[in-house]
Structures are given as structure tokens and as C-alpha cells.
């Protein structure tokens, strides 16, 4: 009696990360983590002393203090930067592993890409709230916005390897950094238009 050999599932293929991408993940994670920690410290100081003026209060528009006291700054009942500390710690650890050339499976990068996409969605909600509801911008928050979008581009590229991406997404993949640059231009224009009355007074 012959037996059919059981099918052996192929091992999960690790994604080969280039040095530039590995350092991009690590540096982006460190910048995001530093911004999140700074925001958390500033928030604690503000809670301890209502008269405290945060170091990022630069002018009526760029004012962390005006943002920190709003409900939007604590969506889940605690300061938003705490979520950033957790998320960017994961990114930093991932960056260290990538720089050390520790192989990570594709599903891991896919998970990071999905998580960062959710973070980018939250970032866009915060951008809308800052521009059209709060009427002030937090410089450290803006750093987190920029880092999140850049990391999303990197993670999405890594998640598409080694099997490649679908043909209908290849064009978008090739122009991913152009799309990111256009996003920064659009954000700059939105900020300029929203607060143009103030910017004009500086001329």
C-alpha cells in the first residue's frame, strides 16, 4: 500500500532589506520616538502647572499648548503621544534589526505597513482638526505627521517584496516618493491658505 507524502509548506521567505531602507526605518523611528517623548513630557509639565508655556509655543499659529488642551489631543482618554511612543518603539526595534541584517518575514513588514496606514489615517484626521477645528499647529506633531507618511512609503515597499506587487499597482509603486512629495506640497499649501492672514503680517 502506497502512501502519498504529505505536502510540506515552504518556509516563510524573509525580505531582503537594503541598507538605505534599514537606516530610513531606524532614523524615522528615532525621530518619531523623540517627538512623541518630548510631547509627552510637555503634556505632563502642562498638567502639573497650568501656567507652563511649552517649548514649542512659537507664535499664535505654531503653538503646542493650544493643541494639548483640546479633546482631540487625548482621543482615547490619554495623551495621543503615548500611542506614538509605543508605535515608534516598535519601529526603532525593527530598524535596529534591519540595520543588523536580521531577516524578517514578509508578513511582518505587511503588518507594519497596515499599522502605519492606520496611523496615517489618524494623522490626517489630526491634520483636519488642527487646521479647521483647533486653529493651531503643533510643531512636534507635524514632525510625527511627516515621519509617518515617509515610513508608510518604506513599509509599503518592503511589504510588496519579494513577490512583487500587482501590475495595476506597479505604476503607483514606481512613483511612490513623487506621491509623497506631492502630499508634502499639498499640506504646505493647506497650512499657508488656512493661516494666510497671519503669514502676511510677517512680511
Please check whether residue 160 is in contact with residue 167, taking contact to mean a CB–CB distance below 8 angstroms. Answer: no
Separation CA 119–CA 113 (nearest Å): 10
Cα dihedral value 198, 203, 144, 103, nearest 10: 160
| Residue 61 belongs to a domain | yes
Q: Which pLDDT score, from 0 to 100, does residue 21 have?
A: 93
Q: How many CB atoms lie within 10 A of CB 13?
A: 12
Separation CA 147–CA 162 (nearest Å): 25
Looking up residue 119, the CATH number of its domain turns out to be 1.20.1440.130
| Residue 6 belongs to a domain | no
The DSSP result for 175-196, as a single string, is THHHHHHHHHHHHHHHHHHHTH
| Residue 3 belongs to a domain | no
Give residue 67's domain range. Answer: 19-201
| Residue 10 belongs to a domain | no
| Residue 156 belongs to a domain | yes
| Residue 1 belongs to a domain | no
Tell whether the torsion through CA atoms of 167, 169, 171 and 175 is positive or negative: negative
* Tens digit of each residue's pLDDT, the chain (203 residues): 444 444 444 455 677 888 999 999 999 999 999 999 999 999 999 999 988 999 889 999 999 999 999 999 999 999 999 999 999 999 999 999 999 999 999 899 999 999 999 999 999 999 999 999 999 999 999 999 999 999 999 998 888 865 544 555 556 667 888 989 999 999 999 999 999 999 888 87
CA atoms within 13 A on the CB side of 160: 17
| Residue 46 belongs to a domain | yes
Separation CA 39–CA 145 (nearest Å): 13
Q: Which of 48, 37, 190, 25 is nearest to 108 (CA)?
A: 25
| Residue 75 belongs to a domain | yes
Q: Per the structure, how many domains does the chain have?
A: 1
Amino acid at each position: 500500500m502506497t502512501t502519498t507524502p504529505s505536502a510540506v509548506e515552504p518556509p516563510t521567505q524573509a525580505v531582503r532589506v537594503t541598507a538605505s531602507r534599514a537606516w530610513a526605518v531606524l532614523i524615522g523611528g528615532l525621530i518619531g520616538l523623540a517627538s512623541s517623548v518630548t510631547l509627552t513630557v510637555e503634556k505632563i509639565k502642562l498638567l502639573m502647572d497650568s501656567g507652563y508655556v511649552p517649548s514649542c509655543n512659537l507664535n499664535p499659529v505654531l503653538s503646542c499648548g493650544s493643541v494639548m488642551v483640546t479633546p482631540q489631543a487625548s482621543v482615547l482618554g490619554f495623551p495621543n503621544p503615548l500611542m506614538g511612543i509605543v508605535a515608534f518603539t516598535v519601529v526603532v526595534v525593527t530598524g535596529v534589526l534591519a540595520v543588523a541584517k536580521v531577516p524578517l518575514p514578509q508578513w511582518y513588514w505587511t503588518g507594519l505597513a497596515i499599522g502605519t496606514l492606520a496611523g496615517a489615517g489618524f494623522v490626517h484626521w489630526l491634520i483636519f482638526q488642527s487646521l479647521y477645528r483647533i486653529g493651531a499647529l503643533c510643531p512636534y506633531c507635524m514632525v510625527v505627521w511627516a515621519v509617518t507618511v515617509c515610513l508608510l512609503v518604506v513599509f509599503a515597499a518592503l511589504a510588496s517584496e519579494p513577490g512583487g506587487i500587482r501590475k495595476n499597482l506597479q505604476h503607483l509603486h514606481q512613483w511612490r516618493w513623487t506621491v509623497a512629495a506631492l502630499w508634502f506640497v499639498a499640506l504646505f499649501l493647506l497650512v499657508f491658505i488656512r493661516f494666510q492672514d497671519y503669514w502676511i503680517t510677517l512680511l
